[in-house]
Amino acid sequence: MSLSSPSSPTAPEQLPGRVFFSVPSGFLWWFLPVLLIASLIRFHNLTEILVGGRLYFVDADCYSRMSRAQLVSASPGTVIHRQMFENWPEGVASHATAPMDYAIVGLERALRWTWPRTGRLAILRESTLDLAGALISPLLGIGLCAFLALWAYGIRLSDGTRPALWWAVPVLAAVSPPLVHATVFGRPDHQSLLIFLLASALGGEQRLQQGAGRAWAWAGGLAWGLALWVSLYEPLVLLGASLGLAMWFWRAGWQWRIRGHWALALGLVLTLAWFVDGIRIVTPDAIWAEALRRWGATIGELQSVDGLTAVTQWTGLLLWGLPVLLLWHAHRIRSGRAVAGWLILLLVSLALTFWQIRWSPYCVLIFACCLPWALSVLPGWKRNAALWILSLWPLVQEWELRWFPEASLIEQRYLDRSERINARSTAERMRSSYCEPFLAVWWLSPSLAYWSGQPAVAGSGHEGISGIVDTARFFMSTDPTEAREILVRRGVRIVVASDSARAVENSTAILARTPAGKALAERLWQPDPGAAWKLEGEGNVTTFRLLRVLE
């Protein structure tokens, strides 16, 4: 993939490839403030995550990841191939892999040694695993910005000069909402690790086309290999596009040797991944395809982008003029291939983002990496800087709405915080030395399972769609026989009643039908649901109610 135009194709060793060992003091004037901004903005949700001296996580998938980390922490060396804490009693062969599990556990071990034993912070001393889960993504996000700063500083244009606005790359990575969300405090999701690895991999591809040597070949190969180990979805798509572009821009001689080192590094990591995790391609049975499609329609990150405005709020207005700027830059240096690599990757990732929002962080990452070339078109760095800064106005508006929300959103955040606190209290009432599987709505099941230590029928992953469908059928049921069959087949001992209106609404979307009468989700809140249902519930509760399954 040609991401820069080399000044001498026949002598790649003459091109600069190292910026890691000799950094001018002027670089630090940009580098340190960017890291400070990246650090502060990734903790903007601190009051939502740290409540009453306890840590909570952003979404359901985070609790599923933390349940894996909990098992690994308790038994180091464990590699989890089947998650038994969801889709009970079958469990799921999850697509999650070991690297993120051990990144969290490794950080947890470090925190055990370094976290203060006295003072105000000591309240989290006994929650080092939760703390590691909350901190892992912000640390990776800060590392992402640091890498992009070093990488962008080392770029050379076709005339051998450094882009004056190299600092625009880490600044955008520090403040763009999708990249912040992917690496925010309290979100232990593999996406943060994946973005860091893909930034390293794509940066390595640019350096290889610039003429870098073995060090970048090994760095790029290792980064691609680790990214594929973490996930076979986004990295595989981007690797395919990158290799296609690399073949297009192939230079004989030295490139064969360099690519040999790259391939060796990639092969070593993939071999290790094979022995540790195996190939983790998980597809649900065909009988669940329709239910999976309907369930996916309720997941935010699987939705399509709602108009052009949303994308502009992530990248700034410059996105829509970027292709013209890149082509103009290519025309000026008489090398259309010099910027074609980034432009093609940007168009591919943008199309995928319009299809699924989950691609937005990768699209923003690639857009940021295009900036050094796009912002070197107009003469005078001040003019280019003014153009770019003014284009960021939609991002400013987006952050203003997040930091100064409307009253309705403030109220919703308060209700969500109360629900999390009450859910944790409910899970603590479920703790037992015995295995007592429970049935709850799928979006609450991972957190209840993590806090209670009990396995759940449902989960938040598509691999457990059968359990998700069974919970939907149970809460929509108007027939005691049907509900009882689900409880017996799943070995359920506890039913967790929550917001009945939301449970019915979501179950209706998943099953594509409405209840024939009064849904069981509503009956569960009656003092006595009825003898036919064989459920006995708690009294004097509000947000959540536990019901025991009678023999």
Residues in Cβ contact with 137 at an 8 Å cutoff, skipping those fewer than 6 apart:
42, 182, 183, 184, 185, 187, 188, 189, 192
Mark out the alpha helices in 375-440 (DSSP H runs). 381-391, 393-403, 407-430
- Domain check: are 21 and 120 in the same one? yes
Pairing of strands 494-497, 545-549: antiparallel
Tens digits of residue pLDDT in 324-374: 877 776 666 655 565 778 888 999 999 999 999 999 999 999 999 999 988
Q: Is the dihedral of CA 446, 449, 455, 456 positive or negative?
A: negative
The pLDDT value given to residue 177: 96
Query: 240 by DSSP, 3-state: which?
Result: helix
Q: Is 422 in the same domain as 387?
A: no
Which residues span the domain enclosing 359? Answer: 12-402
In whole angstroms, give the CA distance from residue 440 to residue 457.
7
For residues 58 and 199, state if they share a domain: yes
207 and 275 together in one domain:
yes
Question: Does 7 reside within a domain?
Answer: no
State whether 467 and 377 are in the same domain.
no
Check whether residue 47 and residue 171 sit in a common domain: yes
Same-domain pairing of 128 and 170: yes
User: What pLDDT, on the 0 to 100 scale, is given for residue 279?
Assistant: 76
For residue 3, the model assigns a pLDDT of 46
Q: Any bridge partners for residue 312, and if so which?
A: none
pLDDT of residue 341: 81
- Would you state the structure tokens that stand for residue 387, as one six-digit string? 């153009």
Assess whether 235 and 270 both reside in one domain.
yes
What phi-psi label fits residue 34: left (phi over 0), alpha (psi between -120 and 50 degrees) or beta?
alpha
Q: What is the end-to-end Cα distance of the chain in Å, rounded? A: 65
Look up residue 87 and give its DSSP letter: S
CA distance 504 to 441: 10
- Pair 394, 450 in one domain: no
The answer to the question of residue 412 being in a domain is no
Cβ 340 vs Cβ 414: under 8 Å: no
pLDDT means over runs of 10, the chain (551 residues): 41 41 68 93 94 93 96 94 94 92 97 90 91 97 96 84 90 96 96 97 88 88 96 93 76 67 95 88 71 87 84 91 78 62 90 93 95 83 88 93 89 91 95 95 97 96 92 95 95 96 95 91 91 90 93 81
Picking from 129, 134, 269, 254, the residue whose alpha carbon sits closest to that of residue 197 is 269
Predicted pLDDT of residue 15: 41
144-181 in b/e form (b: 16+ CB < 10 A) is bbbbbbbbbbbbbbbeeebbbbbbbbbbbbbbbbbbbb
Do strands 494-497 and 438-439 pair parallel, antiparallel, or not at all (unpaired)? parallel
d(CA 269, CA 266): 5
Beta bridge partners of 439: 495
Per-residue three-class SS string for 353-376: HHHCHHHHHHHHHHHHHHHHHHCC
Are residue 369 and residue 461 in the same domain, yes or no? Answer: no
On whether residue 357 sits in a domain, the answer given is yes
- Rounded Cα distance, 462 and 373, in Å: 40
CA-to-CA distance for 130 and 296, rounded, in angstroms?
Answer: 28
Exposed (0-12), middle (13-18) or buried (19+): which is 16, by Cβ within 10 Å?
A: middle
Token pair 């009656």 is found at: 526
Is 76 within 8 Å of 252 (Cβ atoms)? no
Considering the domain boundaries, does residue 112 fall inside one? yes
Would you say how long the chain is, in residues? Answer: 551
507 assigned to some structural domain: yes
Looking at the 3D structure of the chain, how many domains does it have?
2
Domain boundary among 369, 402, 435: 402
In a domain, residue 289? The reply is yes
Q: Do residues 363 and 422 share a domain?
A: no
Residue 4: inside a domain, yes or no? no
Please calculate the CA angle 215-217-220 and round it to the nearest 5 degrees. Answer: 105
Residue at a domain's end among 350, 371, 402: 402
Last residue of a domain, one of 378, 402, 426: 402
Q: Is residue 377 part of a domain?
A: yes
CATH number of the domain to which 481 belongs: 3.40.50.12610
* Same-domain check for residues 170 and 83: yes
pTM of the predicted structure, to 2 decimals: 0.91
- Between strands 494-497 and 535-537, the pairing is unpaired
